[in-house]
């Protein structure tokens, strides 16, 4: 009876796990589609836009709002409108015609603090003429400007796009909402979240997350991580009391002596590595083998790694984690593709390697009362999965040896020791 109950509880666990994975997968797919197409935003915002309007009426308006801040409105003097109208009315002038805003536009401005929609001028100023329309005085700001978009020199256009939003005019993203830049929005959300949770910087919030995961493993938890989730945990923990983020990430400069202050004993798997302090370099540290691969290969056709063969009697956990119908697995890239073997701690077990270039691909270790497994690369069935690409359809890869290793780690926490017969 107890045996049947155990089997049922395990089946229930697996069922719940895969149900949640399915739900997360659906949400992720819908979110990804929305980021690429802006389909739902377009529908929702177009319905709202139908209710946004204003009309000029031959009387003073009680449905109008004047701007109070913002560089554009300050530069062109619009923030002074309310005060100037009051002064003119006190001097005997009156408002003969004024715009009235629609209820929805007023609601967006009053309740959500949004700006009113109108065709903004590129230049504004003052022009005084005599009775024959001859100009007496003219002043415009900005003084210089381009007549139209096509008149902007390409070097200026592409420089601004590089700084502001590199995908804005990309033909690949024709339907994307141009007003939303997802990387900046994500960073702003993280900053807001950090402040709400009592952290001065996003980097401190992320450090807290890494320490929480570390304590989870120390107290008996199982950690499985792939791609840049592997080395980034170690780096965050080793740099606990050091500022390793440059000013564009947390608004203050990094400690230039960071590499000499790292405490490798606080991390899970790696030691003696160097941080990449260049914010323009797509790399965290020397742990990843990206630069080695650029120099010495391998290519997509020759990129393979081999699983070690473990004894179930002496190494039961590595044996479970390397169960597979193939011993040689196709390699695949990621922000962290693989790990330099010389930087892996001596007590960490290397379960999969590419021996020809001395890289570890699949590693496992004991940490406190728990264990961790790190698997380099991003997607076992998409060699070089890039940002913006469609997610892999796993139905097309039912016998994927690379994904089998992921499944081993998902099922591993449900494993129980079987009582031996005596």
pLDDT digits (tens, 9 = 90+) for 296-323: 778 888 999 999 999 888 888 999 999 9
Q: Strands 328-330, 54-57: parallel, antiparallel or unpaired by DSSP?
A: unpaired
Compute the average pLDDT of residues 375-402. Answer: 88
Any idea how long the chain is? 422
**What pLDDT shows up at residue 166?**
73
Rounded distance between C-alpha atoms, residue 71 and residue 73, angstroms = 6
Mean pLDDT of 157-161: 84
Q: What is the mean pLDDT of residues 56-83?
A: 85
SS3 call for 16: helix
Distances (CA, A) of 293 to 50, 303, 361, 369, 408: 54, 10, 13, 35, 28
Residues forming a β-bridge with 367:
370
329: which strand partners? Answer: 305
Q: If you average pLDDT over every residue of the chain, what do you get?
A: 86
Give backbone dihedrals phi and psi of 151, rounded to 5 degrees, phi first. -90, -10
CB-based contact 384:303 (threshold 8 Å): no
Confidence of residue 226 (pLDDT cuts 50, 70, 90): very high
Q: Identify the band that residue 2 occupies on the pLDDT scale cut at 50, 70 and 90.
A: low
The CA distances from residue 59 to 52, 63, 92, in Å, are 21, 11, 16
Alpha carbons 352 and 363: distance in angstroms, whole number: 7
Determine the Cα–Cα distance for residues 289 and 360; give it in Å rounded to an integer. Answer: 9
Distance (Å, whole) CA 274 – CA 277? 9
Q: Is 79 in contact with 69 (CB distance < 8 Å)?
A: yes
Q: What percent of the chain has pLDDT over 90?
A: 36
| Of residues 103, 145, 99, 154, the one with CA closest to residue 124 | 145
Query: Residues 318-353: pLDDT tens digits?
Result: 999 999 999 999 999 998 999 999 999 999 999 999
* pLDDT in the model for residue 364: 97
Higher pLDDT, 170 or 40: 40
Given a contact cutoff of 8 angstroms between Cβ atoms, the answer to whether 376 and 406 are in contact is: no
Position 228 pLDDT exceeds 80: yes
Query: Coil, helix or strand for 82?
Result: helix
Cα distance between residue 408 and residue 48, in whole Å: 48
Report the relative pairing of strands 370-375 and 222-226 from DSSP bridges: parallel
Residue with tokens 């540290």: 285
- The 3-state DSSP class for residue 373 equals strand
Q: Which of 142-151, 185-194, 214-223 has the lowest mean pLDDT?
A: 185-194
pLDDT band at 4 (very low <50, low <70, confident <90, very high): low
Q: Which residue has the higher pLDDT, 278 or 2?
A: 278
**Res 1: pLDDT:** 58
């Amino acid at each position: 009876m107890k045996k049947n109950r155990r089997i049922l509880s395990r089946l229930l666990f697996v069922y719940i796990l895969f149900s949640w994975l399915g739900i997360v997968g659906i949400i992720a797919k819908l979110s990804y589609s929305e980021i690429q197409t802006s389909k739902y935003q377009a529908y929702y915002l177009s319905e709202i836009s139908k209710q946004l309007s204003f009309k000029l009426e031959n009387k003073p308006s009680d449905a109008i709002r004047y701007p109070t801040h913002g560089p554009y409105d300050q530069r062109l003097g619009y923030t002074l409108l309310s005060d100037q109208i009051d002064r003119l009315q006190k001097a005997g002038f009156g408002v003969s015609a004024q715009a009235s805003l629609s209820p929805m536009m007023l609601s967006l401005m009053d309740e959500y603090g949004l700006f009113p929609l109108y065709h903004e001028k590129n230049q504004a100023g003052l022009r005084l003429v005599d009775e024959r329309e001859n100009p007496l005085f003219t002043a415009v700001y900005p003084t210089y400007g381009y007549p139209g978009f096509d008149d902007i020199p390409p070097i200026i256009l592409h420089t601004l796009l590089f700084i502001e939003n590199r995908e804005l005019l990309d033909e690949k993203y024709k339907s994307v909402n141009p007003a939303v830049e997802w990387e900046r929005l994500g960073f702003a959300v993280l900053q807001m979240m950090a402040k709400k949770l009592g952290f001065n910087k996003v980097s401190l919030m992320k450090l807290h997350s890494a320490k929480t995961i570390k304590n989870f493993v120390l107290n008996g938890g199982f950690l499985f991580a792939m791609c840049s989730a592997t080395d980034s945990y170690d780096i965050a923990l080793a740099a606990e009391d050091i500022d390793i983020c440059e000013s564009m990430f947390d608004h203050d400069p990094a400690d230039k002596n960071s590499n000499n202050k790292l405490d490798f004993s606080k991390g899970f798997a790696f030691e003696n590595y160097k941080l990449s302090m260049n914010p323009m370099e797509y790399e965290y540290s020397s742990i990843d083998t990206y630069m080695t691969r650029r120099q010495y290969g391998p290519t997509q056709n020759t990129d393979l790694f081999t699983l070690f063969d473990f004894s179930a009697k002496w190494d039961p956990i590595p044996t479970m984690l390397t169960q597979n119908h193939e011993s040689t697995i196709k390699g695949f890239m990621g922000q962290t593709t693989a790990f330099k073997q010389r930087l892996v701690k001596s007590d960490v077990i290397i379960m999969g390697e590419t021996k020809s270039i001395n890289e570890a691909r699949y590693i496992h270790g004991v940490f406190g009362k728990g264990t961790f497994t790190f698997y380099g690369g991003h997607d076992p069935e998409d060699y070089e999965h890039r940002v913006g690409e469609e997610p892999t359809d796993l139905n097309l890869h039912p016998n994927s040896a690379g994904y089998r290793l992921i499944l081993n780690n998902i099922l591993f926490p449900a494993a129980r020791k079987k009582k031996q017969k005596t």
